Each structure stands twice: as C-alpha cells, then as structure tokens.
Amino acid sequence: MDSRILSWDLRALVKAYNRYLSETMPEEAQVATGGNARIIMFLARNRDEAIYQHTIEQKFCITRSTASRVLALMEKNGLIVRVPVEHDMRLKRIMLTSKADSIVNLLRENGEQMERCLVKGFTEQEQAQLLDYVSRMRRNIDDARDELEESTVVKVTKSLIKEREESK
C-alpha cells in the first residue's frame, strides 16, 4: 500500500466537506451554491468593509475571470449588487442584497454545525495547533507562488533582453 500523500488527503477532506455542506444546506438557502455561500458569508462578516472583486480574488484564491463569472451569476441571481464608489468610478463595491441577507443566518448555522463536526474529539490545544499548521501550509504555498511568479518575470525579462540584443 502506498504511503499517504498529504495533498491528496487534504483534497479528499475538502471534497467531503463541500459535499456534506451541500447535502445539509437548508432548502431556503439552496439558492446559494457552495462558492456563492462562502462569498455571501465573507461579505456578511465584512459588511462594514469595502469589498471589491479583487478582494474576492485574493481571499478565495481565484482568477480574475473566475471571480468575474461567479460575481456576475450572483448578481443575476439577485444575491449581490455592485455599487460604484465615488473616489474611483472603475471600482464597484460588492454588497449583499436583502435576498442574500435573508439566508445568512441559515448559512451561518450550517457552517457552524460543520465546524463542530470537523473538530469533534479535538482538544482546544489540538484545534489551535491544526489552525497553525494549516496557516503555515497556506503561507508555504503563497511563498512558492510568489517565487514562481518572480522566476517567470525574470525569465521573460531575460528572454526579451536576449531578443533585443539579437535584433541589433
């Protein structure tokens, strides 16, 4: 038998988590699919902050095109509105509609129940350690992505310099 691979186990956990959340979603809240529900809850928890599309991209580690598509669908379904801001008309603040607000408590309760399920049998110290491990893994991935991005920029720059020198 193969030794366990952490990334596979994490992926399986996330899939099981998402499936369980979907299966336990109250009927009244099913207008919010998995990704939409997380965005709704993020907006509800940060109601007093100015949240823009790029904030969603960063928070949920999604591309600009994915964020644009998801937010457009949420807007079409009446879950969010995009409101222009006075200081920069290019920016649109993302805000929940009353339709989304009406299901926030249902989503919160479902998420809290899931959290209790996840840490059942863990001591508070173990929960704190787990959160620390997950945070460290996330930082490791973020650092690796930053290094990759820097390396790509350096390669492209060197390639452009080489092309310029060869064309002289």
Q: pTM score, two decimals?
A: 0.72
Question: Chain-wide mean pLDDT for the chain?
Answer: 90
Write the Ramachandran bin of 33: left for phi over 0, alpha for psi from -120 to 50, otherwise beta.
beta
Query: For the segment 118-160, what is each residue's pLDDT rounded down to a tens digit?
Result: 999 999 999 999 999 999 999 999 899 888 888 887 777 777 7
Question: Dihedral, CA atoms, 65, 73, 34, 13, nearest 10 degrees?
Answer: -20
Same domain, 123 and 56: no
Q: 1 falls in which pLDDT band (50, 70, 90)?
A: low
Q: What is the pLDDT of residue 95?
A: 96
Q: Specify the CATH number for the domain of residue 62.
A: 1.10.10.10
Query: For the segment 51-70, what is each residue's pLDDT rounded down to a tens digit?
Result: 999 999 999 989 999 999 99
Domain assignment present for residue 160? The answer is yes
Interior CA angle at 9 toward 7 and 13, to 5°? Answer: 115
C-alpha to C-alpha distance for 147 and 168, rounded to whole angstroms:
32
